[in-house]
Structure formats: C-alpha cells, structure tokens
A and B are shown apart, each in its own frame.
Chain A
Amino acid sequence: MNKMTAADIEETLIQEVAVILAVDSSTISSSTPLHTLGIDSFGFVELLVFIEKTFNLKLIESGLTKEDFQTIHLLASYISRMS
C-alpha cells in the first residue's frame, strides 16, 4: 500500500472524529482543538484506538502532548512523521 500523505491522513481523521461525535464531517475543522469540538477522554481514546487499527501506531504509549495532539491537523502531521 502506498504511504498516505498528511492530507489523506487528515481527511481520514476528520471522518473518524465525525463518527465519534455523530456529526456531519463538513462541520469539523482540522485546526479546531479537539476539546473544543467536544471530544473528551473517552472519545480521544476511541480516536487513538482507530489510529492504531488504521495506521498501526500505538500512540497511547507516547506522551500525548498537547503540542502534537491538540488538533486534527497536528495529529495528522505527527502520524505522517511517525509512519
């Protein structure tokens, strides 16, 4: 499988966040902090599980720093760097 670009990863994450929040994906901005979107601890862990299943990256064991994880855009860049 070809390596996904950061933009592809971002789009995949937007779709998943929309599923977790049960909203239309068009309402989700990749630059809005996840907590502002309404994601809580439970939703965030659901997203981390999705990332492991999709990108084979186990991020729960990383520091989960706000700088790398706060928005979908930052998270996609981080995944792109790590994969």
Chain B
Amino acid sequence: MKRYLTGIDWIIHTINHINKKKIGAGNMFQIVLQMEGALDETTLRECLNKFIKKFPVLNGRSMRDYNLAPYWKIYSKEKILPPNIRIYHLDDNATFSKVISTLEQGINIPFKNVRKHLAFHLIYAGKTSFLAVVFDHCLFDARGAEVFLNMLQQEQKKKTDYSNKISLAESAHLCKWKEKFEAGKWVNRKLLQLSENKVRTLPLDTSSNKKIFKFKIISLDERQTSAIIKTAYNKAGYLMFMPYTLAISIQVLHSIFTKRGICTGDYIIPASIDTRPVEKVAQEVFFNHMSFFLLKVKANEADSFSVILQSIKQQIYDQIKADLPADIEKASLLMRIAPLPVLGCLMRLPLKGQIASFCFSYIGEAAYDSPMFMEKKIHNIFHMPRVPIPPGCGIFFNQFQGKLNVTFSYLDGMLEEDEIDSIVHTLQSGLGV
C-alpha cells in the first residue's frame, strides 16, 4: 500500500535529510505528557503494542513511484516493528531541570532503522511521571501526534477501534500543472522580496556530526496565561495572540544578535500554520498538514516592539489576502521531482545559503483533549522539537487546558550559558511573568 507525499511532506523529508547529514539525527519532535502519579509500565507496553499493530503506516518509508511522485510505502501488518520504550528512574526529589536533561537524551537518539519513526521514554520522578513520545516529523506534525495519543487514550478507555476512521488517501497531484506553476511564480516573487538583504543568523558549528539539541521550557499556569492573553489583546488586538508571541520572540533574539554585534541583515521567520478545522485533524492524523507565512522584520524595525507587531500583523494580513500559504502548498508539489540532497541545496538558494533567522510556531490549544492518560491525571503537555539546520534554534508556544508553555530549542554550542539565561529571562519579562 502507498500514500503519496505532498510537497510540504517532501520539504519536511528534505529538512530531515539535512539534519541527519549534518548532526547525525533527523528532524525529530518530542511531545511530553507530565502526569500525576506513576504511569504503569506494563499497561503502557501492552496498550502500545496492541495499538501500534493497527497502524502499519508507522513503519513505512519513503520511495519514488514509476510516475516519479514520492510516496510512503506502507508494509503489511505482519511486518510491524515493536515500539522502543525506555524507562528512566530519577530521584524522588529530582528537579525539573534534571527531568529536562533526561528528556534531552531521548529526543537526541537517532532512529536506527529507516522504518522506525516512533519511540517512547517513560520517566519516573517521585510523585510525577513523564511520558515522552519521540516521533519523526516525516510521520506526523505536532497536532497529528497529539491526536494519535488521544486515540490511544480513547481506545484504552472505551475499547473503541479508531484505526478505521483515519484517512491515508492522498492523490499523486500530477494534474493542474498551470495552477502549480502560477503558485510557484508568486512564491518565487515573495522569496525575491525576502532576499533583498542578507538574512540575519547566528553562526552554527556543525563540524561534529554528534551535536545535540538542548531545551529550555517555561511553563505558565492558567492565571498567568489569561493575564498574558489579556495583555496581548490590549496591545496587539483581539485574537492577535500569535503575532504578539512572535513579536516577543523577535525582540528576545534581537537582543542576543545585538550583543554579539550581528547587526546586518533582516530577520526572516517562517511561521508554520495549520489551516485545517479541528475535525479534519482527527481524520488526517499522519503526515504533515501545514503551510507557512514567510515573515520579515527589517533590521531598522527590530528595536521597537510596536513597529515589529504592526509589521507582522500587516504581513500576515497581506499574505492571507494574497493566498500565500495555499500557494506554498501548491508550489511545493513541483519540488517533489528533486531528490532530497538536491532540494536541500535548492531551498538555500533564494536566501543565499540561509533558510531563516530562527523557527517559530504557535500551535494553540492542544489537540489532545482528555484530562487523563491511562488513568493518570495530566498536569501538562509540552513540546520539544529539534530544529532545521540552519537556523538551529527556535521558539515554540503551545497550550494545554489554558496553560501556556514556551519552548526554546537550540543546537548545543551555538549559544553561551549567559545568552541562554538571558533568552529565558527576556522571554519571561516580555510575557510579563
């Protein structure tokens, strides 16, 4: 069985290829469930083994069809590989930073087999347990992975089979060429506008192919989160939370660039968006279903928060009006003809060797909608994504039951300790906490 890959899927495969080549592990993502009490290891293993057997797509791999379209080969159910589950026991009084450093081990372990795309890490730390789900971004996006966990929870609770509600249908998209080339023309024009000046980036040392990603997580409670949303609505306008968090992120990293004396070039940020309604997410669990805004903040605008905010709002407005996210989806279908190493080079051409200044996403409320996981109350869900190289760092916002989490992800060695502390501190002060 096969599932054709979209252009966005192929871009994600390319990023995976580049990351593997440069630092030994691909474009992986980790979702962490923080639970009250000890999650039962035997129950988890039994449920996962049973559940995963229903989804042969989890052990697929990319191939190219006779019509040259790339696809995901799905093997028979008999050939399903069991999921890796690693268990860690920390001290009863282990600090959150100790938990994070244990979680960092999990997200930095490369998948050993081309057909393995999923791993689980269960950490016991006193009265709390953490279940980390590491997945290959080629297989899921973050919302898809949360829905997958949701299905696992629902199935365990209600014993209902959700596997037949999932759609894996995707056409090869080998028609409407004029429309795709037209979309490509508009995307190319946008990229030319963005490449007017150099892209401002932090230097990356990828001399060793064993570099790991490190993380800082800021978790806020419901009271703090609603205060931040209220401030965002006052400063940026009603529902303008995503532009507000992006403006804060730009100012935070701008201070680091400035202190380093990196003062030339503009900030280029691809902000990912999922344009699907919620019920569609429940059907399209696997693969990537997002597009991007391509945002630019000029060097001379980055000192003023209100100027950055206004500029981002206007660019998002203009790009939605021009249908840029849809054009990116259509145009990217043309790029599937290029083999991954070639596309890796092509993607860096328009911005003269760079892709972005940093990565950003605001995912919003979690697609995982139960307060429990296998009889345990979930205290929080946070994200730990590895980031494309370049740029090697990113700021990500997600919410679980009205609680905001901010994740700063960076390649080890690209920032000094005092710079990392400064980023955390300025993120907190920018959010008013």
Interface residues in chain A, defined as those with a beta carbon under 8 Å from any beta carbon in chain B = 21-23, 34-35, 38-42, 44-46, 48-49, 52, 60, 63-66, 69-70
A41 touching B362 by the CB < 8 A rule? yes
Closest to B233 in A: A66
7 A-B pairs with least C-beta separation: A64-B237, A41-B242, A22-B277, A44-B239, A69-B238, A60-B317, A66-B238
Chain B residues near A39: list those with CB within 8 A. 239
A-B contact pairs, 14 of them (CB 8 A): A22-B277, A34-B239, A40-B239, A40-B364, A41-B362, A42-B242, A49-B320, A52-B321, A60-B313, A60-B314, A64-B238, A64-B240, A69-B239, A70-B238
B391 close to A (CB within 8 Å): no
Task: Kindly state the separation between the CA atoms of A26 and B316 in the bound complex, as whole angstroms.
Answer: 29
- A49 in contact with B240 given A22-B277, A42-B273, A66-B233 (CB within 8 Å): no
Task: Kindly state the separation between the CA atoms of A22 and B284 in the bound complex, as whole angstroms.
Answer: 15
A40 touching B242 by the CB < 8 A rule? yes
Task: Kindly state the separation between the CA atoms of A40 and B238 in the bound complex, as whole angstroms.
Answer: 10
Most buried by B among A23, A34, A40, A45: A45
Chain A residues near B273: list those with CB within 8 A. 42
Closest to A58 in B: B317
Total contacts A-B at CB 8 Å: 56
B237 touching A45 by the CB < 8 A rule? no
Chain B residues near A23: list those with CB within 8 A. 277
Closest to A61 in B: B314
Task: Kindly state the separation between the CA atoms of A35 and B241 in the bound complex, as whole angstroms.
Answer: 11
B238 touching A22 by the CB < 8 A rule? no
Chain B residues near A34: list those with CB within 8 A. 238-239
B167 close to A (CB within 8 Å): no
Task: Kindly state the separation between the CA atoms of A70 and B320 in the bound complex, as whole angstroms.
Answer: 21
B238 touching A38 by the CB < 8 A rule? no
Chain A residues near B364: list those with CB within 8 A. 40
- 0/1 string, B234-259, CB within 8 A of A gives 1: 00111111110000000000000000
B101 close to A (CB within 8 Å): no
Q: Distance in Å from the Cβ of A39 to the closest Cβ of chain B?
A: 7
A48 touching B317 by the CB < 8 A rule? yes
Chain A residues near B313: list those with CB within 8 A. 60
Task: Kindly state the separation between the CA atoms of A63 and B234 in the bound complex, as whole angstroms.
Answer: 9
B317 touching A45 by the CB < 8 A rule? yes
B238 touching A65 by the CB < 8 A rule? yes
Q: Distance in Å from the Cβ of B284 to the closest Cβ of chain A?
A: 13
Q: Which of A21, A35, A38, A46 contacts B320 (CB 8 A)?
A: A46
Chain A residues near B242: list those with CB within 8 A. 40-42
B43 close to A (CB within 8 Å): no
Task: Kindly state the separation between the CA atoms of A34 and B313 in the bound complex, as whole angstroms.
Answer: 18
B275 close to A (CB within 8 Å): yes
Task: Kindly state the separation between the CA atoms of A52 and B322 in the bound complex, as whole angstroms.
Answer: 13
- A38 in contact with B240 given A49-B320, A60-B313 (CB within 8 Å): no
Chain B residues near A69: list those with CB within 8 A. 237-239
Q: Distance in Å from the Cβ of B327 to the closest Cβ of chain A?
A: 15
Q: Distance in Å from the Cβ of A40 to the closest Cβ of chain B?
A: 6
A38 touching B278 by the CB < 8 A rule? yes
- A65 in contact with B237 given A42-B242, A42-B320, A60-B313 (CB within 8 Å): yes
Task: Kindly state the separation between the CA atoms of A21 and B362 in the bound complex, as whole angstroms.
Answer: 18
Chain B residues near A44: list those with CB within 8 A. 238-240
B418 close to A (CB within 8 Å): no
B46 close to A (CB within 8 Å): no
Residues B186-243 near A (CB distance < 8 A): 233, 236-243
Chain B residues near A49: list those with CB within 8 A. 317, 320-321
Closest to A74 in B: B238
Q: Distance in Å from the Cβ of A34 to the closest Cβ of chain B?
A: 6
Chain A residues near B362: list those with CB within 8 A. 41
Chain B residues near A66: list those with CB within 8 A. 233, 238
Q: Distance in Å from the Cβ of B228 to the closest Cβ of chain A?
A: 14
Q: Which of A22, A40, A41, A52 contacts B280 (CB 8 A)?
A: A22
6 further A-B pairs in the complex, CB-CB below 8 A; given A49-B317, A64-B237: A22-B277, A41-B239, A44-B238, A49-B321, A65-B237, A69-B237
B416 close to A (CB within 8 Å): no
- A22 in contact with B239 given A45-B316, A45-B317 (CB within 8 Å): no
Task: Kindly state the separation between the CA atoms of A22 and B278 in the bound complex, as whole angstroms.
Answer: 9
Task: Kindly state the separation between the CA atoms of A1 and B132 in the bound complex, as whole angstroms.
Answer: 59
Task: Kindly state the separation between the CA atoms of A46 and B323 in the bound complex, as whole angstroms.
Answer: 10
